[in-house]
Structure formats: structure tokens, C-alpha cells
């Protein structure tokens, strides 16, 4: 990992504060180490005095020691008026089960220039294939939703509008209305980057306003399938599975699936968590051949073994809709989605737990110390 300033340069930043990372029982409760982690640092009026930094946050830096050197960082959202910010920081190692580790934030250098190392934080060399923060004003511009990785697999909105941008767990998110047929897709040649089967982690933050797909017998469309994140119905996908009374006890359940090569067929893991409306859930699917795993809010919800060869079909990546069946009034999502990611590795339970615990509203993982002058 590249460090972006020699230690002596940190003296040009007059302000710093300690940010303690707590993976113990009183914090994130993560039992194992996590390396090369993209950490979300969210600031507000109680944790940071925005008046002491540059208006666009250009002087913000981070390090693992009080004197530097600086870590790669990328500002996703900086709003000094409302005193909110979200910065991604690549931390070399976050230790499990301890409250004795910290990073340091630096600011106050009026000559500092803005830096953005998103491609290094979400490194393709470390498996990141696509990362969409979904913080843009809602739009239908070609490639109007940016991929933070060096793959530049930018996505295009379908029926999205500026009013679709709302607050999410991580800065801004996108709101999708079922009745408007709104979704976001990667349908350029770069969709081929996501033809991944055996080793894969894909995740998204999801909140449902309603479950609106009532089905259509004339079109042989089954009810209750609403898609959060998928590469077609014959590839990897996260989607709601059926209606409440299909399940006993009754519940709104999510499934994660792979496609069997021969004979062709769906191999699905149906979760156990009742996905209530107007609540945020962090949903993660993991392919670790021959196992398929579904995590909900950082905890393994269900796992199954499918000891067969898996395949993937050539369809767009869809956020908020099933790209293989994209017709309006079908499998569209009705709610809000944030931070969609595809990683070409099977991440373990420590990584996934840290993802949820460090990003969720009300997180106890980061503890901000008082501002200090050097």
C-alpha cells in the first residue's frame, strides 16, 4: 500500500485527533484481524469542527501514528453547511477483539491540495471489481453513476431523477420507485468483468418502502421477487424471494443464488431474516465454491453446499432491478439502496462483520478523541 507523505510533512498540519477503533465486545465485536480495509469515517458536528478545515476538505489526511505518514483516502461526501462528511481510508490492518488500536486525522494545512485515492482504496489487485457509492444526483446520463475502482465500470440510470438522491447509511443513497420503473445498470462491455462464479463477495445496503411486485398470471410472472443487486437471473443475485405466505412462519425473505452449469438450474440459499419495511439491512452474498452463504447485518444467516459446476450468463449488472427481466412493473425495487460492491474474492466473516458494524447507523466502532494542536 502506498503511503502518501513522509512523516516530517505531517508537521504542516497543525491539528490532529485520535480515532480509536474498537473491535471488542463493547464496539464492533469482530473476533479476527482484517487487512487492507476500506474504512468509512463519518464526521458530524459532534466529532469534528468543520470551520477549522478547508471548505472542501482538501486538507484532511489520516495516518496510523500521530506523525504520519499519510494513508490513502477518498472523500465521498463533504458538506460543511450541514456539518456532515464521509471519507474512505485504507487501513493496513485492523486487529480483532481489541480497543487499543487507533488512527489519526490531520487537518488545518491551508496549502494542502485535494487528494483522491479511491482506486487504491478499492484496489482491483485486491479483488475489488466494482464499487458504486450511489451518491450522485439522480440521473440518466450515460455512465452517470461512477465506479470507484480502476475498472471504471460506470453505471447508467434508468428513469432516475434528481429527487432520487436521499440520505443513506453512508452519505447519500438512491431511492427507487417501483411505479416509475427506476433502476441502475452496467450494460457496457465492462459487464463482462462481473462474470464471476467460484470466489465472489457482493453486498449492498437496502431499505424497502414496500414489496410491490404482485405478479402477473397472464405473463407468468411470479409475485414477491424484488431485486436489490444482480447480474441477471442466471448469474449471481440478491433479491427478495416470494411473498410472505410462501414461508412458514410468514416472512419477507431474501435469497442468494448461483446457476448450475449442467443440468441448468438455480441453486439458491433462502435466508431466515424477516426483512421488514422502512428498516436498513446490510446484505452480503458470498460464493466460496462449493458453498454459498448469505449474511444479513454482518451475521451468517444461512449457508448451503452446492457441489456442482457453476456458471454465469452475459447480462448487465442491475442495481434495483433484475437485469434479465427488466420490464417495468416486474422485479423492480421500491425503496433505497446504498454502497453496492462486487469483490472477486470470498471474504470471511470478520471482513463482513466489520463492514456492517463500521458502516451502520449508530456504530460503536469508531470513537473520536478531542482535537489537539501540534
Structural domains for the chain: 7-118+364-373 (no CATH), 128-344 (2.60.120.200)
Distance CA 226, CA 39 (A): 30
* Coil, strand or helix at 245: helix
Distance CA 75, CA 88 (A): 6
Distance CA 196, CA 346 (A): 11
Q: How many CB atoms lie within 10 A of CB 332?
A: 27
DSSP-assigned letters across all residues of 61-92: EEESSTT-PBPPEEEEEEETTTTEEEEEEEEE
* Coil, strand or helix at 330: coil
H helix or E strand, kind and range, residue 237: strand 237-240
User: What is the structure's pLDDT at 8?
Assistant: 45
Distance CA 355, CA 279 (A): 17
The C-alpha cell that represents 56 in the structure block: 472542501
Distance CA 50, CA 77 (A): 13
Q: Are strands 280-288 and 291-296 parallel, antiparallel or unpaired?
A: antiparallel
In the chain, DSSP finds a helix count (H) and a strand count (E) of 2, 24
Whether the link from the prior residue into 83 is cis, omega within 30° of 0, is no
Tens of pLDDT along the chain (374 residues)? Answer: 655 554 446 789 999 999 999 999 999 999 999 999 999 999 999 999 999 999 999 999 999 999 889 999 999 999 999 999 999 999 999 999 999 999 999 999 999 999 999 999 999 999 999 999 999 999 999 999 999 999 999 999 999 999 999 999 999 999 999 999 999 999 999 999 999 999 999 999 999 999 999 998 777 678 999 999 999 999 999 999 999 999 999 999 999 999 999 999 999 999 999 999 999 999 999 999 999 999 999 999 999 999 999 999 999 999 999 999 888 888 999 999 999 999 999 999 999 999 999 999 999 999 999 999 98
What are the residues whose beta carbons fall under 8 Å from the beta carbon of 134, sequence distance 6 or more?
A: 145, 168, 172, 173, 174, 184, 319, 337, 338, 339, 340
Distance CA 68, CA 104 (A): 8
* Coil, strand or helix at 255: strand
Distance CA 189, CA 367 (A): 43
CA distances from 167 to 81, 136, 207, 214, 229 (A): 15, 11, 12, 28, 19
User: What is the structure's pLDDT at 7?
Assistant: 47
User: What is the structure's pLDDT at 36?
Assistant: 98
CB 295 within 8 A of CB 283: yes
Indicate the pTM of the whole model: 0.96
DSSP-assigned letters across all residues of 136-150: SPS--STT-B-B-ST
Is 283 buried (19+), middle (13-18) or exposed (0-12) by CB count in 10 A? Answer: buried
Amino acid at each position: 500500500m502506498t503511503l502518501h507523505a513522509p512523516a516530517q510533512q505531517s508537521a504542516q498540519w497543525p491539528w490532529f485527533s485520535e480515532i480509536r477503533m474498537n473491535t471488542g465486545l463493547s464496539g464492533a465485536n469482530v473476533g479476527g484481524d482484517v487487512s487492507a480495509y476500506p474504512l468509512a469515517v463519518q464526521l458530524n458536528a459532534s466529532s469534528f469542527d468543520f470551520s477549522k478545515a478547508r471548505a472542501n476538505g482538501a486538507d484532511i489526511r489520516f495516518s496510523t501514528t500521530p506523525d504520519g505518514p499519510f494513508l490513502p483516502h477518498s472523500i465521498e461526501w463533504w458538506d460543511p453547511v450541514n456539518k456532515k462528511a464521509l471519507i474512505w481510508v485504507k487501513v493496513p490492518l485492523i486487529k480483532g477483539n481489541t480497543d487499543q488500536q487507533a488512527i489519526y486525522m490531520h487537518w488545518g494545512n491551508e496549502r494542502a491540495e485535494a487528494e483522491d485515492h479511491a482506486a487504491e482504496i478499492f484496489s482491483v489487485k485486491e479483488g475489488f471489481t466494482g464499487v458504486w457509492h450511489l451518491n450522485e444526483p439522480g440521473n440518466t446520463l450515460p455512465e452517470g453513476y461512477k465506479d470507484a475502482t480502476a475498472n471504471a465500470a460506470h453505471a447508467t440510470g434508468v428513469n432516475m431523477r434528481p429527487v432520487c438522491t436521499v440520505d443513506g447509511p453512508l452519505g447519500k443513497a438512491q431511492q427507487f420507485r417501483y411505479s416509475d420503473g427506476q433502476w441502475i445498470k452496467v450494460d457496457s462491455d465492462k459487464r463482462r468483468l462481473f462474470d464471476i462464479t467460484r470466489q465472489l463477495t457482493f453486498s449492498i445496503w437496502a431499505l424497502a418502502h414496500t414489496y410491490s411486485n404482485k405478479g402477473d398470471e397472464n405473463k407468468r410472472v411470479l409475485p414477491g421477487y424484488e431485486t436489490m443487486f444482480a447480474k441477471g437471473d442466471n448469474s449471481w443475485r440478491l433479491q427478495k424471494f416470494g411473498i410472505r405466505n410462501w414461508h412458514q412462519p410468514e416472512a419477507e425473505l431474501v435469497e442468494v443464488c448461483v446457476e448450475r452449469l449442467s443440468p441448468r438450474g438455480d441453486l439458491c440459499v433462502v435466508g431466515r431474516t424477516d426483512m421488514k419495511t422502512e428498516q436498513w439491512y446490510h446484505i452480503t452474498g458470498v460464493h466460496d465454491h462449493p458453498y454459498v452463504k448469505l449474511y444479513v447485518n454482518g451475521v451468517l444467516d444461512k449457508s448451503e453446499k452446492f457441489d456442482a459446476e457453476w456458471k454465469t450468463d452475459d447480462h448487465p449488472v442491475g442495481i434495483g432491478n433484475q437485469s434479465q427481466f427488466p420490464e417495468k412493473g416486474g422485479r423492480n425495487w421500491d425503496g433505497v439502496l446504498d454502497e453496492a460492491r462486487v469483490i472477486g474474492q470470498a471474504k470471511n466473516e470478520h471482513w463482513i462483520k466489520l463492514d456492517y458494524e463500521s458502516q451502520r447507523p449508530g456504530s460503536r466502532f469508531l470513537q473520536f478523541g478531542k482535537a489537539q494542536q501540534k
